[in-house]
Amino acid sequence: MWYRTAQEKDFLTNLKALTSEFVDAAQRIYDDWDEHPDVYFGGGICHLIADAFVEIIYKHHPNYTASTFTRDDIQHVETLVYNMDSDSLYDDETDGETDIETVMVDISPYIYENGGGFSWTKIPDVEFTNDDITFYRTYTDKKYIGIDN
């Protein structure tokens, strides 16, 4: 049990250590957002922020699996990180592990944009801080990974 507890702390701690990089990346994307209809099509930038978070995670922790996913309740894209490399994550062999530690990393869209669905507008003069990054840890049964419900 001690090993699992220590491992969990390391995973979440490793992700939280990237907070300032997440903030910097989100700020760059926000600052570059000009709401041009041919580029953003009336949508927001959450997908760009989530993609940047994935790149940061892989740069520092290639042994994790990071991807983006779209919430259907508010049409928002977040970053999802599994405490397992992608080859092992999608391997049918469980090696006794069925619950995979998972962390969702995000910035609430309501901090930097107004709207909903596919129609978002920029809130002016936003400056992100480390407190804007959220981490939600949970566990995902390996048999459900990659399955659309």
Domain extent listing, the chain:
2-144
Residue 130 — φ and ψ, nearest 5°?
A: -60, -30
DSSP state of 32: H
Mean pLDDT of the 81-86 span: 90
Nearest to 15 by CA among 103, 107, 138: 103
Global confidence as pTM: 0.86
In our burial notation (b when 16+ CB lie closer than 10 A, e otherwise), range 56-91 reads bbeeebeebbbebeeeeeebbbbbbbbbbeeebbee
The pLDDT assigned to 41 comes to 66
> What is the pLDDT confidence band of residue 3, given thresholds at 50, 70 and 90?
very low
